[in-house]
Structure 1
Amino acid sequence: MGSSPLFPAGLTDDEDIKVMLNGSFLWKIKSRRRKKERFYRLQEDGLTILSERCFKRARSKQIFSIMHIEAMREGYQSEGLRKHGRYFPETQCLTIVFKGRRKNLDLAAQSEEEAKRWARGLKNLSPAFFTYISGIWIHDILRRADKNKDNKMSFKEIKDMLKMINIDMNDIYAYQLFQECDKSSNDRLEEHEIEEFCTLLMKRPELEELFHRYSGQDCVLSAKELGAFLQDQGEAADLAHAHRIIQTYELSEKAKQHDRMMLDGFMMYLLSAAGDILNQEHTNVYQDMSQPLCHYFISTSHNTYLTDNQIGGASSTEAYIRAFMEGCRCVELDCWEGSNGEPIIYHGHTLTSKILFRDVIEIIRDYAFKHSSYPVILSLENHCGMEQQVTMVRHMKAILGDMLLTQTLDGEVPKELPSPEQLKGKILVKGKKLPDLVCDPENMSFLSDTNEEEEEEEEEEEEERAKDAAQLSQELSDLVVYCQAVPFQSLEQALRGQQAGQMCSFSERKARKLLKESGNGLVRYNARHLSRIYPLGLKMNSSNYNPQEMWNAGCQLVALNFQTPGWEMDLNHGRFLVNGRCGYVLKPSFLRSRQASFDPESGRGSGHRATLQVKVITAQQLPKLNDKKSSIVDPFVRVEIHGVRADCTSKQTEYKLNNGFNPRWDETLSFQLWVPELALVRFVVEDYDTTSCNDFVGQFTLPFTSLREGYRHIHLLSRDGASLAPATLFVHIKAKKM
């Protein structure tokens, strides 16, 4: 295959990509008995992979987008391959991990060489896509879609082409474009008509208007004119910066030589990370990481082992991997007595499947620090007898080795919690601890666990929980260093007598009660101690609570069901999107002071205010919500503010009838923020429905303090956090601190 603009320069000559374009027979492994040979091939669009199974009479095809791939793993690096892949050499095995809730694809190649080629090829492709589809590429694809090579294209061939390049346009709009270009009225597009169709298809009038506002009569941006645009964007406007942008994004070599930018290059720039609404400096670790652990919001998972609901869902080590790769730094292990002396993990007294404690610890060893180097907390819910507790300790020490923190950093009783920087690469155990009888002879409540106590009280599970009460072994107690779970008596008592390394857990209901009764007291408690908040235990569908309420009070370990998509997890993703997605985000200063006057209910005591203006201009290539031809999106955009109660609000645009491809609003939505440091901004696109609830199309959430002013693109995500590329919103942002 010859060079094509659909791939970034150099990739078409790559031997691995060539193998993928030619295709390979790979074994798809689902169980010991279910191994299916399928033909996998990278399609010419460079965006999708075709999976084909051939029978004598039947033929089945499946397609998946490379944009939805989260990671590539080689060897037995998935639960499925560890269980069922042993029939194939490890060097021939690979796993494609998808974003969101889609299951892994476990594969085995015919040879080690072929497995390596696919693994390398997919890794090369994943970051390499241009969101902007150039007219040249479209034209090239059109040529391939011209089945009978007569240089004329029917509407069906046009539709096939749109599908090939992943453009999800409804038939009515596509046919309108087709008719507009069919000047000869013969239901065929000819040479010049095809060119016009390409131009109309990729037309972005709002970007052309913006370009011409700065480029003047000659319709070309000089470095100086680009500098003027950058200045209005609130960015560095010097000529050297403008020159670098031109050299990076301009498509025409001739224009580059003259230090000029054409419309296509300008569009490329605005659709790149440089034009993203998220401040790109915040995609790296940029915050002070030397403060005590309690000064950070910490990404925390509840019932981490579950892939579905907590009543009958599957438990899987894969769920831990996914949590870690999302930046999660505190995972939960519900430990129960297992057969053959081996502790197991599952949701007790339910029908959820069981996994070995040892297997989970191995996964923690392998994945805890792949995405972030900052400390991981293992929240142990221990329901094991003394013997299997000793087994748990033996496994943790043998498997985790030096990663496992077994004593304080300086050997002394801590007066203050250490920092994420000091604990880099370390795994901490959160659990109960035997009392030090010398220092604390009256403390006999060490077995009382706040989680269990409150769930007994609030959910009437006393009998079941009583059965689970277990003695604590000295070995397991000794592993608890900085995260000792203690029962909560009162804020007054905790502030007066709780040690630095002790922490409390609260159900969402108990936390809300404390917020209402003594919000500032909870803020001051969280300025010196860790607290963990968890969802109520009897939610059949593992639904989540609003984490923002808890962050407003400085709670660090706000535990959510990562397997349950929804706006609550969108907020969690948005909160931890920044600081390199390392799982630790420094709390605002008014939540870190031991003498804090901040009231999370009223928002008083923060000292800052801000205004936000969002001009919603256009959207591009919004996905259809189902495969029906009649499925046409009537989109509108809602901008939500999540923060202290006074800031929580939302405003929305009008809906646009029958246009998910390029709707235009040009509507401005304005907001006032009392506590901008805590606010998250959520952009939501929905499909308007007159007769029932509006359907979710896509969203993107980020902290107010991390959004950039000026003309920006927002790259939308699906309900489960996967990219909806090339779906975007184009907006103009004005933000002002007061």
Structure 2
Amino acid sequence: MASLLCNARIQLTDTLEQMQQGTLMRKVKSKSWKKQRYFKLQEDCMTIWYQSKRTGKTESAFSISDVETVREGHQSEVLQSVAEEFPPERCFTIVFYGRRGNLDLVAGSAEEAQCWVQGLRQLIEVATTMDQREKIDQWIRDWFQKADKDKDGRMNFKEVQRLLKMMNVDMNEDHALRLFQDADKSESGTLEGEEFVLFYKALTQREEVLSLFREYSEDGKKLTLLELVDFLREEQLEDEGTEELAMELIDKYEPSETARARHVLSVDGFLMYLCSPEGSIFNPQHRGLWQDMSQPLCHYFISSSHNTYLIEDQIRGHSSIEGYIRALKRGCRCLEVDCWDGPNGEPMVYHGHTFTSKIPFREVVSTLGKYAFKTSDYPVILSLENHCSMEQQEVLAQQLKDILGEQLLTTTIDGHVPTQLPSPEELKHKILLKGKKIGRLEDTLDGPGDEVPEVSDDDNGAEAEEERRRAKKDKETLAQALSDCVIYCKNVPFRGFQEARSHSRPSEISSLSEAKARKLIRDEGNEFVRHNAWQLTRIYPSGMRTDSSNYSPQEMWNVGCQIVALNFQTAGMEMDLCDGLFSQNGHCGYVLKPPFMRDKETLFNPSDPRSWEGPGPITLTIQVISGQQLPKVANSKEGAIIDPLVRVEIYGVPADQAHQETKYIENNGFNPCWDETLQFQLHVPELALVRFVVEDYDKTSRNDFVGQFTLAFANIKPGYRHIHLLSKDGTSIPPSSLFVHIRITEPPGPEQD
């Protein structure tokens, strides 16, 4: 059984053995809630189990693959609140992926804490570097453990039937029994270890992959190097270095050493390749940094969050530095802070005039200093909503400078007045403050400015007068020290595109509510695109969204708005689009806009087909072939099997918005086969996002969400591809996937003479 239970890559160290013996620790939820729990690493080395010491009944477990990281010391609000009671060397925090709350623990001694911190880190490293086969093996182990009720490491047919129900398989009993008997090599009437793996492999036999394999294999048993090259060229449209690629794939994915030595690929190796990153729908070359990062900031879409400090709703939600950590880890590059006067001269961050809890500004800034550049090296914009008195504004400025030091940008990069914004490349590792500023940037710089926007003679006097009046008003309400920290992102009210063109600077930025932005898109779409080619615009959700819901960012991106702020704490289609757009380019939080959106004189208007340059629509043809191990719907009834359907949604300019879906398959979440073809016309593919959604069909009420995957059209690889599904909050749910074939047909070029 051991071979099934413990991951082959895990070396049993003293640390892990100690964890397997179990440790009594305190689970802390607040200053007053601190209870003893017994924590233990299971034999599979991939599950942590814990139970209440007192009752000995209530037990819980979590998988190592759900753990994102471990933080040592008082690195959470909960542990900070008990800092006087427990020293930092005994404390640590287990952070989970997605929106699941942290687990804050206090060990009995510093040695015990270290043992768990080091051990967990070792196991997380194994979990995150697993390849597809190891992930599936691990997934089988997890299910085996769940179903093996009497924990004897073997399973009779009844247990196997219950397991199939848990795994979303509704199977003919005779067929299941036949597979069970074939796998029971020892004829003991139970499956153990490798027998269970055999049973699982027979269960997951993929006919659709087998027939594709046979199409290219002459003997139906293997693909020779040249047969694989043919497949890669003809189906996957890989045209460069195909032979080298074929060799690489065989070396990487062929499990049999003899086959590898002969440079051939077996069915197992072929399936491994199809399920690998190279067989994914997402172009692996676009996962890393692949765009030009030397253009002005306004030429990029920037991943941006609204009310970053909230992890629930806007009225009573909990304010937390966790909101900042999560957003930064997701590659967010524009964060929001609402500052209000706090007790003892300490400014606080919370949602004003509501019941949300409060956090000291100092804590937000030190969190920012710590996490700003862990996921991305490119600049972070701190959007400051300042409601503080003059005294506490001085404190804000002091804390920003003291805590962030060199990271805070306090002057232009070359000492001159900018004629255009600097690039993400030039601003690497810098934090930019966005807020009000007294007067103009050139007033604070030494020497004359390089170039200031033209002001015509007849309104020069009026313009200068208005400028003086505004500066005087700002001086009365804004501390000079805080004003001096604002360089490239000076907040200015928006007074129309004409006004901006004649009087604004590239270093100024306007914020618009979603409703105001929609009106401008409707009435002046082209002007909006032109404006965003040289100046930044921030869009924020309407004040009516007290439930922290989101608007669709797509319509704002269609006119080139860079800072489209969303409530990162709220899962759903809008955040899927945001994650989908920013999952490319090394997850750095910046995505370069298409060329026709970077030109100040562009004619492009998303709502007007006559303004789109290009040879005509591209045709995207998606054959939805099959699904693999789809998860059950959360909170579904015991034994309920899903009836899955796939919907493909296109988001882009209004003319490209579309969705189509397959029929649903009854009672099969394990290996449904649709084999249906959906087709879409894309007029502006550069702006299109494609979202694949799997739902559980329900004839009496709304369909339930099962999984989704969203990506920019620009990142799609044609051919036979797997789509690895994500949960509602954007975390992966291996081994759930869809198998599809993608064809992209360009419009015919101009006729040749």
So what's the TM-score if we normalise by structure 1? 0.90
Q: Against the structure 1 CA distance between its residues 193 and 377, is the aligned structure 2 distance closer, same or farther, given a 3 Å change threshold?
A: closer
Give the conservation status (yes or no) of the 8 Å contact 1:108–1:115: no
- Once residues 140 and 331 of structure 2 are traced to their aligned partners in structure 1, the CA distance between those partners, rounded to angstroms, is 41
Q: 1:648 aligns to what?
A: 657
1:513 matched residue in structure 2:
519
Deviation digits for residues 693-724 of structure 1 (CA, Å, limit 9, x no counterpart): 11111101000000111111111111111222
Distance in 1 (CA, whole Å) between partners of 2:473 and 2:516 is 16
More off after superposition, 195-204 vs 663-672: 195-204
Give the 3-state SS of the residue equivalent to 1:212 in structure 2: helix
SS of equivalent to 2:128: coil
Once residues 471 and 285 of structure 1 are traced to their aligned partners in structure 2, the CA distance between those partners, rounded to angstroms, is 43
Q: 2:442 aligned with 1:442, yes or no? A: no
Residue 496 of structure 1 aligns to a residue whose secondary structure is: helix
Cα deviation for residue 514 of structure 1 reads 0.5
1:91·1:115 contact (CA, 8 Å) conserved in 2? Answer: no
For residue 704 of structure 1, what is the aligned residue in structure 2? 713
Within-5 A mapping of 1:308-457:
308-436=312-440, 440-443=464-467, 444-445=469-470
Offset, 1:310: 0.2
What's the secondary structure of 2:171's corresponding residue? Answer: helix
* Distance of 1:494 and 1:47 partners within structure 2: 58
Given that 1:75 and 1:91 are in contact with CA atoms closer than 8 Å, whether structure 2 keeps it comes out as yes
Moved more, 422-431 or 29-38: 29-38
Match of 1:228 in 2: 230
Q: Report the AA paired with residue 660 of structure 1.
A: G
Is the 2:558–2:653 Cα contact (8 Å) retained in structure 1?
Answer: yes
Given candidates 583, 592, 595, the residue that maps to 1:586 is 592
CA distance in 2, matches of 1:528, 1:147: 64
Could you tell me whether the CA contact under 8 Å between 2:68 and 2:97 is conserved in 1?
A: yes
Aligned to 2:750: none
What residue identity is the alignment partner of 1:411?
A: G
- Residue in 2 that maps onto 1:728: 737
Q: Does 1:489 align with 2:495?
A: yes
Alignment of 1:217-296 (within 5 A): 217-231=219-233, 232-235=235-238, 236=240, 238-296=242-300
Query: SS of 1:614's equivalent?
Result: strand
Corresponding position of 2:561: 555
Distance 1:558 1:148 in 2: 53
Structure 1 position 578, deviation (Å): 0.5
1:616 is aligned, of 615, 624, 634, to 624
Q: Structure 2 matches for 1:516-665, cutoff 5 A?
A: 516-603=522-609, 604-607=611-614, 609-625=617-633, 626-665=635-674
Give percent identity, aligned residues only: 49
Partner of 1:157 in structure 2? 159
The question of whether the paired residues in 2 share the 8 Å contact of 1:132 and 1:267 is answered with no
Q: Which moved more, 1:415-424 or 1:235-244?
A: 235-244
**Distance of aligned partners of 1:655 and 1:435 in 2 relative to their CA distance in 1, 3 Å threshold:** same
CA distance in structure 2 between the aligned counterparts of 1:531 and 1:138, rounded to whole angstroms:
45
CA contact (8 A) 1:230 1:237 kept: no
* d(CA) in 2 for partners of 1:27, 1:593: 59
Counterpart-to-counterpart distance in 2, 1:343 and 1:20: 43
Q: 2:66 aligns with which of 58, 65, 68?
A: 68
CA distance in 2, matches of 1:142, 1:296: 44
Q: Which moved more, 1:718-727 or 1:333-342?
A: 718-727
> For residues 341-364 of structure 1, what are the alpha-carbon distances to aligned partners after superposition, in whole Å with 9 as ceiling and x for unaligned?
111111110111111111100100
**Distance (Å, rounded) in 2 between the aligned partners of 1:610 and 1:565:** 31
Structure 2 counterpart of 1:127, which letter?
T
Question: How far apart in 2 are the matches of 1:133 and 1:364?
Answer: 36
Cross-structure match for 1:214: 216
TM-aligned CA distance change 1:29 to 1:138, over 3 Å: closer
8 Å contact 1:68–1:723 — kept in the other structure?
no
CA contact (8 A) 1:16 1:120 kept: no
Q: Secondary structure at the match of 1:351?
A: coil
SS at match of 1:493: helix
Change in CA separation of 1:123 and 1:326 when aligned onto 2, cut-off 3 Å: same
Question: Which shows bigger deviation, 666-675 or 264-273?
Answer: 264-273
C-alpha distance in structure 2 between counterparts of 1:508 and 1:407, whole Å: 32
The letter of the residue matching 1:125 is V
- Looking at structure 2, the residues matched to 724 and 524 of structure 1 have their Cα atoms a distance apart, in angstroms, of 41
| Distance in 2 of aligned mates of 1:721 and 1:140 | 24
1:120 to 2:110 alignment: no
2:230 is paired with a residue of what secondary structure? helix
| Aligned match of 2:204 | 202
Given that 1:309 and 1:542 are in contact with CA atoms closer than 8 Å, whether structure 2 keeps it comes out as yes
SS in 1 for 2:605: coil
Distance 1:361-1:325 versus aligned 2 partners, 3 A rule: same
How far has the Cα of 1:70 moved from its partner?
Answer: 2.6
Contact 1:94–1:119, Cα closer than 8 Å, also in 2: no
Distance 1:711 1:49, change over 3 A: farther
Aligned length: 713
Judging changes above 3 Å, is the alpha-carbon distance between structure 1 residues 138 and 318 closer, same or farther for their aligned structure 2 residues?
A: closer
Structure 2 spans left out of the alignment, 5+ residues: 444-462, 748-753
717-726 or 314-323, which moves further after superposition? 717-726
Q: Which whole-Å CA distance do the structure 1 matches of 2:152 and 2:730 have between them? A: 43
Distance 2:526 2:739 in 1: 40
Q: Deviation string for 1:39-75 (max 9, x for gaps)?
A: 33344455533223343x5411212233332333233
**Are residues 173 and 130 of structure 1, via their aligned partners in 2, closer, same or farther at CA, if it must alter by over 3 Å?**
farther
Q: State the alpha-carbon separation in 1 of the partners of residues 523 and 139 from structure 2.
A: 61
Contact (CA 8 Å) 2:9, 2:126: kept in 1 or not?
no
CA contact (8 A) 2:301 2:560 kept: yes
Aligned-partner residue type, residue 489 of structure 2: C
1:37 CA displacement? 3.1
Contact 1:93 1:115 in 2 (8 A): no
Q: Does the residue aligned with 1:217 lie in a helix, a strand or coil? A: coil
Report the aligned-residue RMSD.
3.0
Q: Which amino acid aligns with 1:617?
A: I
User: Compared with structure 1, are the counterparts of its residues 210 and 43 closer, same or farther at alpha carbon in structure 2 (3 Å cutoff)?
Assistant: farther
1:63 alignment partner AA: A
SS in structure 1 of the partner of residue 118 of structure 2: helix
Q: Residues 480-530 of structure 1: CA distance to partner in whole angstroms, max 9, x if unpaired? A: 100001011111111122111111111101101111111000000000000
Q: Which runs of 5+ in 1 are unaligned?
A: 450-468
What SS does structure 1 have at the residue aligned with 2:218?
helix
Structure 1 residues 278, 140: closer, same or farther in 2, change over 3 A? closer
Residues 432/44 of structure 1: CA separation in 2 closer, same or farther (3 Å cut): same
> For the residues of structure 1 that align with 2:411 and 2:140, how far apart are their CA atoms?
65
Deviation by residue 1:140-192 (Cα, 9 ceiling, x = unmatched):
89998778899984234325766xxxx94246438565334466999955799
Equivalent position amino acid for 1:374 in 2 = Y
Q: Do the aligned partners of residues 290 and 148 (structure 1) sit closer, same or farther apart at CA in structure 2, a change above 3 Å counting?
A: closer
In the alignment, the residues of structure 2 paired with residue 494 and residue 543 of structure 1 have an alpha-carbon distance, to the nearest angstrom, of 31
The answer to whether the 8 Å contact 2:94/2:104 transfers is yes
1:10-159 superposed matches below 5 A = 10-13=9-12, 16-45=15-44, 47-55=46-54, 57-109=55-107, 110=109, 111=111, 112-132=113-133, 153-158=155-160
Find the aligned partners of 2:151 and 2:483 in 1 and give their Cα distance: 75
- What is the CA deviation profile of residues 321-373 of structure 1, one whole-angstrom value per residue up to 9, with x for unaligned ones? 00000000000010111111111111110111111111100100001111111
Determine if contact 2:726/2:732 at 8 Å carries over to the other structure: yes
